[in-house]
Structure 1
Amino acid sequence: MDGSGVFNKGVFLGRVRLAEGGHPRIVTVRDGQVIDITAKAAPTVRDICEMDDPSGYVKSAPGEAVADLDAVLDGKAEGVTLLSPVDLQAVKASGVTFVVSLLERVIEEQAKGDAGRADALRGEILALIGEDLSQLVPGSDAAMAVKAKLVEKGVWSQYLEVGIGPDAEIFTKCQPMASVGHGADVGLHPISTWNNPEPEVALIVSSNGDIVGATLGNDVNLRDVEGRSALLLGKAKDNNASAALGPFIRLFDGGFSLDSVKQMEIVLEVVGQDGFVLTGASSMSQISRTPESLVAAALGSHHQYPDGLALYLGTMFAPVQDRDGAGKGFTHKLGDLVTISTPMLGALVNTVRLSTECAPWTYGPRALMGDLAKAGLL
């Protein structure tokens, strides 16, 4: 993987673990090198993101090179492992923020988790709705008129409610420090037989609601589990290694802002050991709820996050390409290599395993605090 280009143009922030053990190191990228900038003034990514000027701090922070960037990204840097770029932040996600994913959620619900019924249902539901929902502003009078029409037709859904209704869907993707990074395995619950990657942008938000940067994310999804019941959302979304983020946070500065995020196209590629290749893209310009409104739905006077949060923004990409026969749609197979990329953030690459076979999550906030204290950083 080429570490030049994008990583020479922006201000990047991440975390690595060294073979010598101890606390994760806070790193940035300079001149093709991964630089350790861990300091008592900011021993966690959370601390940097809470500053008035995170990018200014990272640009000027003294540090030492720990490895060549390309080697780290390719998993070939001896004794250096790239981690998820967030630590103490809550990890939240937005659902049904694009029309395409909205319709696929309705199909999941109607199919009751049966992938074999989805293809026929897709045509039936699209014909029944008979509306171009892409121009609807959620919660608007026009959206409520469409809702009334759908109720009359008998196809109203909880997914249409959060897709065009007044309230966004915000849920917990995983606990702080449970997300995995670039190069790690991502996990599927063993009970699932119909699942998919979700290529997304995740915003990094401070405790006072300031959006300070962005990274790539894979909001791994179990379509059959959520399709059986939306009350199974936790089982469908929050499993060991089911939340991937990375490779780094790109902090906002003069050359990168929320407007940059709004114009991104997120590209997905899945390459299977069976020779199957799936490609697709998700254009942030097509999102139906603004990133600012999603942050406001998650954090405000109604709900505080003292350590900030990472917020997945949702995806318009819903894979329907047949993999094992006509009408069977897409589902993962173990060993799939998933690459999520965009020119301004690089590429997040992960391999699909069962969640029971991924590395167990054993290093949480208590362990981090203990290691930082031992190092004299607290």
Structure 2
Amino acid sequence: MRYFRVRIGSGDPRLVARDGRTAYDLSSARPALSSFRDLAMVASTTNRGVDDVAEALLDDAPVVGEDEVESGTVRPVVPDEVWAAGVTYEASGDAREDESGRPEMYQQVFENDRPELFFKATPSRTVGPDDRIGVREDSEWDVPEPELGIVLYEGDIVGYTVGNDVSSRDLEGQNPLYLPQAKVFERCCAVGPCVVSPETVEDPHDLEMSMTIERDGETEFEGETDTSLMARTCEELVSYRNRHDETPELSVLLTGTSIVPPSEFTLREDDRVEITIENVGTLTNTVTTV
């Protein structure tokens, strides 16, 4: 199933489950389930999958129109923390070598047992579908990074989403110690449009991914890849994320990018970024300067 947070009318967002093309208002069936976090908590407490919990409620849940879902969808999860992995694809390593002039450092990360993991965003820095992602005013080279996002509840995989790890490549390239400034800033991360259960995704390591960037109604960049090219597994990245650290109740772990615009490209105000991952969905955002 696919899980959305949908604002219907002027009320608070509701948890909506889509099974095929039919969407069900789970919050109407069980008012205590107002978010995916609530659903994951019940699933964890009862030792069931999120789909098992949702399926038990479908008979009591009113159907929501497809137009209401599309027009009312907001950020599907509000993660306590967002983390991200770097250099999990060869193309990403090549791009970071180009921007930094330090090829040996990124090659070592790509080949070593320990992956690169870094803190990406807090809830206030994370936006949802059709919201604006930010680029730093003090940066001159900014790019979106389309990534498969792993949704974790108490450290366990409970779903997948689409993520955008917006990055300031010139800051990161100047010095690796500038990585936090290149990665963490206002509106630096987007997730959505939904959370998809592991059973629906099936194999997260065999998904087509694409990104299109439009400017003034024209396609400025488009690229595609496949998660089969990822050098790490989702389970491996989650294992390292959970080691010797506090595990947030609800978090997202972005798994790295393999779609890299050419070095002469940088995001501009009002650019439109569309990221699609097979079996997950399409995340669309526009750009603003922060």
Q: Normalising by the residue count of structure 1, what TM-score does the alignment of the two structures yield?
A: 0.68
Question: 2:201·2:280 contact (CA, 8 Å) conserved in 1?
Answer: no
Q: 1:156 aligns with which of 104, 107, 111?
A: 104
The amino acid across from 1:311 in the alignment is L
The alignment status of 1:175 with 2:117, answered yes or no, reads no
Aligned position for 2:3: 13
The alignment status of 1:317 with 2:265, answered yes or no, reads no
Bigger fraction of residues in strand: 2
Question: 1:201·1:312 contact (CA, 8 Å) conserved in 2?
Answer: yes
Aligned position for 1:64: 62
Aligned position for 1:265: 208
CA deviation after TM superposition for structure 1 residue 34, in Å = 4.6
User: Could you report, residue by residue, the CA deviation over 1:183-212 in whole angstroms, capped at 9, with x for unpaired residues?
Assistant: 1111111112111111111011221x3212
Aligned position for 2:94: 103
The amino acid across from 2:288 in the alignment is R
| 2: CA distance, partners of 1:40 / 1:303 | 33
The alignment status of 1:293 with 2:215, answered yes or no, reads no
CA deviation after TM superposition for structure 1 residue 93, in Å = 0.8
User: Could you report, residue by residue, the CA deviation over 1:217-255 in whole angstroms, capped at 9, with x for unpaired residues?
Assistant: 1111111111112222222112222211111111122x5
| 1: CA distance, partners of 2:151 / 2:289 | 28
Q: Which has the larger radius of gyration?
A: 1
| 2: CA distance, partners of 1:18 / 1:354 | 30
| 1: CA distance, partners of 2:258 / 2:84 | 14
SS state at 1:249 partner: strand
Q: 1:307 aligns with which of 242, 249, 257?
A: 249
- Structure 1 residues 311 and 88: alpha-carbon distance in aligned structure 2, compared to 1, 3 A threshold: closer
- Structure 1 residues 353 and 56: alpha-carbon distance in aligned structure 2, compared to 1, 3 A threshold: same
| 1: CA distance, partners of 2:137 / 2:171 | 11
The amino acid across from 1:44 in the alignment is S
The amino acid across from 2:54 in the alignment is V
Q: 2:15 aligns with which of 22, 26, 43?
A: 26
User: Over aligned residues, Cα RMSD in angstroms?
Assistant: 2.2
The amino acid across from 2:196 in the alignment is R
Q: Which runs of 5+ in 2 are unaligned?
A: none
CA deviation after TM superposition for structure 1 residue 165, in Å = 2.0
The amino acid across from 1:101 in the alignment is S
Question: 1:218·1:243 contact (CA, 8 Å) conserved in 2?
Answer: yes
SS state at 1:27 partner: strand
The amino acid across from 1:304 in the alignment is E
Question: 2:91·2:258 contact (CA, 8 Å) conserved in 1?
Answer: yes
The amino acid across from 1:24 in the alignment is P
CA deviation after TM superposition for structure 1 residue 90, in Å = 2.0
Question: 1:270·1:336 contact (CA, 8 Å) conserved in 2?
Answer: yes
SS state at 2:264 partner: coil
The alignment status of 1:90 with 2:81, answered yes or no, reads yes
The amino acid across from 1:69 in the alignment is E
Q: Normalising by the residue count of structure 2, what TM-score does the alignment of the two structures yield?
A: 0.88
CA deviation after TM superposition for structure 1 residue 88, in Å = 4.1
CA deviation after TM superposition for structure 1 residue 274, in Å = 6.9
CA deviation after TM superposition for structure 1 residue 43, in Å = 3.6
Aligned position for 2:49: 53
User: Could you report, residue by residue, the CA deviation over 1:38-75 in whole angstroms, capped at 9, with x for unpaired residues?
Assistant: 34543432232241311111223243345x334543xx
The amino acid across from 1:261 in the alignment is P
Identity of aligned residues (%): 30
User: Could you report, residue by residue, the CA deviation over 1:70-98 in whole angstroms, capped at 9, with x for unpaired residues?
Assistant: 4543xxx4xx3x22211244211111111
| 2: CA distance, partners of 1:185 / 1:99 | 29
| 1: CA distance, partners of 2:191 / 2:36 | 14
| 2: CA distance, partners of 1:63 / 1:90 | 31
| 1: CA distance, partners of 2:26 / 2:241 | 30
Question: 1:199·1:217 contact (CA, 8 Å) conserved in 2?
Answer: yes
More off after superposition, 30-39 vs 270-279: 30-39
